Amino acid sequence: MNALSEEIAIDVIVEAGDWPEEETLCALVERAVDVAIDVAGVRLAQGAELAVLFTDDAHIARLNADWRDKPKPTNVLSFPATPAGSARLGPLVGDIVLAGETIRAEAGDQGVSFEAHLTHLVVHGFLHLAGHDHIEDDEAERMERLETAILARLGIADPYADPATGEGDPPDENDE
């Protein structure tokens, strides 16, 4: 465990769906969150806690309907517990919920590995908890730059690059 991991307790819950072993998921989440904290300059309150729920499309569709009025599956949902604009996250950082079937389908459609896409979505979800968003164009660009920098540190290619040229406009996001 590195120094950043010691600053945040991460609770990984595998509820439903076809996921890798819990130990593998814990390592993936810890690594992604550690790098996101470092690159994004996230400040954590002492005793910060994060929950990551691995579930299926049926459950995330219910959550998406209940919380966002969109009754369909999505890849990731984030539920921040820290008020927007706080200088530090925590002690309860929030929850990230991931949907297995959607993530597998998107990875296949994008021609990337499941692990790379899952890592991207953990980073994406964590950045939402840290107060980043992609509603306005300037916010989206800032968030995409952060995601790209974090993923580069993790050895994952830019998910927003045009596959033919390696640059250009990002592909359309899931409806999140």
Rg of the chain's alpha carbons, rounded to an integer?
15
124 is known to lie in a ligand binding site: yes
Q: Is 132 annotated as a binding residue?
A: no
Give the span between the Cα atoms of 125 and 112, in whole angstroms.
Answer: 19
Helix axes 137-153, 22-40, angle to 10 degrees: 120
**Is 117 annotated among the ligand-binding residues?**
no
Say how far apart CA 66 and CA 132 lie, in whole Å.
22
Question: How do beta strands 92-99 and 48-55 pair?
Answer: parallel
Binding residues: 124, 128, 134
Annotation: binding site for Zn(2+): 124, 128, 134
